[in-house]
Structure 1
Amino acid sequence: MNVNEIKEVKALLSTPKNIVIVPHRNPDGDAIGASLAMYHYLKNKGHRATVVSPNDYPSFLKWLPDTEEVFKFDTQNRQSKSCIEEASIIFLLDFNALHRVGSDMQNTLEDYKGTFIMIDHHQQPDDIATYLYSDVSICSTCQMVYHFLEKLEDVNSINADIANCLYAGIMTDTGSFRFPSTTSTTHRIVAELIDRGAENAKIHNNVYDTNSYGRLQLLGRALSNLVVIENLKTAYITLSQQELNEFKYEKGDTEGVVNYALSLEDVIFAVIFIEDVEQQIIKISLRSKGSFSVNKFSREHFDGGGHDNAAGGKSLLSMEATISNFLSVLPNYKNELINSYEA
């Protein structure tokens, strides 16, 4: 955003408006944290703000302040569409293309005639927003929301609710501040959020220390399914729908499981393949260390994308065919995999 665009956004937000905030489908901590932080900020400024999520999100994020006010587009369709139709501004947070919200909600947003403001840190954003704040070097959309408030010269409006939401998003998207995208600026912002009321120990406990028995059992099955391809420095995990059902899978139970594969010594590329019978797809999460770009790999083979070291994708094939396809293309990247380095 340039100086003139910031002035225009400040003018737009200077009087009360109906505003909708939209995260991507299957929102993670960064997406829902950014959305609820923006919700609290706008609400405190006198706007009528509503978060409309494409669908539900994990229970370990439902302690966030005012999470019960979030509409789910898939189950609260009429209310969600009404909010979108009445909105004069829609914030698109933590995604860069409308297909990331799912086809039904995508159609609704494509019909929208008002102002889109996109804040996102993923690569290659689509040209859909009236105002775009995009920076792939920043670790999380929650950190970008903080910078957005800086640009509005309104950081002092951050209260404890906003601070808790932003901290949660930054913490989860940086892997508890261990990824290379975590900068000294990130740590300074986190310190400021703690000073403004973010309960860092409580947030970590709420997100990471509230596992169900079934989730830990599912993790055990995932690790037993782990396959390592030593000569390509690659590891992958599979989870079938039957296995998910066996351990009473709930949304969010597979969050972060792919990182266990990446934690193996000498592995620089990790993938998890998860069968989703309802959507008739294989959901894919990809992670890497060093210079190997999973964003590029996912875009080329699995209709996905994201960041260089963290991306998502999908396959319309069966699990067996998806794995076969993955194993057939993997050797083409041998030089990149062998010569990748840990940053």
Structure 2
Amino acid sequence: MNIDILSQDQLALMDQLISDANTILVVCHKSPDGDAIGSSLAWAEFLRMRGKDVTVLVPDQYPDFLKWLPNTEKIVRYDKHTEKGDMLLKIADLVFCLDFNTPSRVDEMEQALVNSPAKKVLIDHHLRPDVEADLVVSLPEASSTSELVFRIVWQMGAFTQLDKAFAVPVYCGMMTDTGGFIYNSNRPEIYFIISELLTKRIDKDRIYRNVYHNYSEDRIRLMGYVMYEKLVYLPDYHAAFYSLTRDELKRFNFIKGDAEGLVNIPQQIKGLKLSISLREDTDKPNLVWVSLRSVDDFPCNLMAEEFFNGGGHLNASGGRLETSIEEAIEITKKAIYAYQNKLK
């Protein structure tokens, strides 16, 4: 199967940029998820195989359930080591921007990234990329940035030289960005990639357990609380939403990653087309994080853009509201009513 995504000119440029660089940074977005961390770790592993000095630099904390991935101990967090991060961005020859389409997605690191004199390469699968880069690899129909990383490495003829330290994070990234291959995962290329990753003797069942069966008791109780006490089901609109306040999160000893996947659960309701999560930030007042999931052709990415200052993919999107949780609930109701013709 032909899974090449780079033109011959792009392929030559990618190879030249890597060859010319000595110090390389791999950067992903704020609140890194499985795809951001997975693609970053895998790409860094490929670059090390090329003999490069590579650092993965992330804006802030990533979920505990990803800390088992190979080489996570080498990741540098910008929020904890800001001076080091600034220095790395100043001295790098080459910066790879993975899994984000605009500089604001790296949050507090934005200015240092934009001002970095390094050459830049963007590898991403989100719509409308606007990162200024020497090379842009953008494929919005891809399942994940991890998929793109695999396809580039494959096209460059390097896959045979890599091992589990590459294959495991690629599979993890693809798996988490498709909800365990239940959305945005119908293309045959995805399963060709999985079959090749399995030749590296990865244990895909264990990867699944490490991510989805690796929660605390508090997270399980939070899940039950959300579904029993907080879920608002609107059967006439085939939609559901829930909200979580800062106090409720503290009650369940919330840590980064505990809300991961909760927004998918209401989709088990027969006929549901849209599920929305509203979660107060644990530190900043009047900041609400929004996640949206949909099925079939309902465009939750358009709803995210129009109502939640966000965007994303057709069936999986996110955003943020600088409002109280009460105002966020009212905005969510307005969004659902505004899209009622597509929901009913």
Instruction: Provide the TM-score with structure 1 as the length reference.
Output: 0.95
Q: Which residue, out of 280, 293, 296, partners 1:290?
A: 296
Q: Check whether the contact 2:184–2:315 (CA below 8 A) recurs between aligned residues.
A: no
Is 1:39 paired with 2:49? no
Distance in 2 of aligned mates of 1:95 and 1:198: 27
Aligned mates of 1:13, 1:304 — CA distance in 2 = 33
Aligned to 1:188: 192
Q: CA deviation at 1:16?
A: 5.3
Following superposition of structure 1 onto structure 2, how do residues 126-165 of structure 1 map, counting pairs within 5 Å?
A: 126-165=130-169
1:219 corresponding residue in structure 2: 223
- Paired residue for 1:105? 109
1:193 partner SS: helix
Give the residue type in structure 2 aligned to 1:305. G
Q: Tell me if 1:28 matches 2:33.
A: yes
Shift of 1:197: 2.9
The answer to whether residue 330 in structure 2 is matched with residue 327 in structure 1 is: no
Residue number in structure 1 paired with 2:263: 258
Contact 2:142 2:148 in 1 (8 A): yes
- Counterpart of 1:7 in structure 2 is 12
Per-residue CA distance 1:164-213 (angstroms, 9 max, x = gap):
11011111112212224342211111111111132212211111111111
- 1:80 aligns with 85
Distance 1:221 1:11, change over 3 A: same
CA deviation string 1:201-247 (max 9, x = no partner): 22111111111111111111111210111111110011111111001
TM-score with structure 2 length normalisation? 0.95
Number of matched residues? 337
Partner of 2:24: 19
d(CA) in 2 for partners of 1:197, 1:13: 28
Question: Is 1:176 matched with 2:180?
Answer: yes
Letter in 2 for 1:74: D
Query: How many Å separate the matches in 1 of 2:140 and 2:20?
Result: 31
Within the alignment, does 1:57 sit opposite 2:69 as a pair? no
Question: Which residue number corresponds to residue 303 of structure 1?
Answer: 309
**Secondary structure in 2 matching 1:267:** coil
SS at 1:145's partner residue? helix
C-alpha separation between the residues in 2 aligned to 1:261 and 1:213?
Answer: 20
> Is 2:100 the partner of 1:95?
yes
Measure the CA separation in 2 of the matches of 1:293 and 1:244. 29
Distance 2:84 2:106 in 1: 17
Between the aligned partners of 1:129 and 1:15, the Cα distance in structure 2 is 16
1:20 and 1:75 mapped to 2: Cα distance? 17
Distance in 2, Cα, partners of 1:182 & 1:121: 16
Q: Are the equivalent residues in 1 in contact too, given 2:163–2:200 (CA < 8 A)? A: yes
Give 1:166's aligned residue: 170
Q: Is the 8 A contact 1:174 1:182 kept in 2?
A: no
Does the CA contact (< 8 Å) of 1:41 and 1:158 recur in 2?
Answer: yes
**Does structure 2 retain, via aligned residues, the 8 Å contact 1:233–1:268?**
yes
The corresponding residue for 2:235 is 230
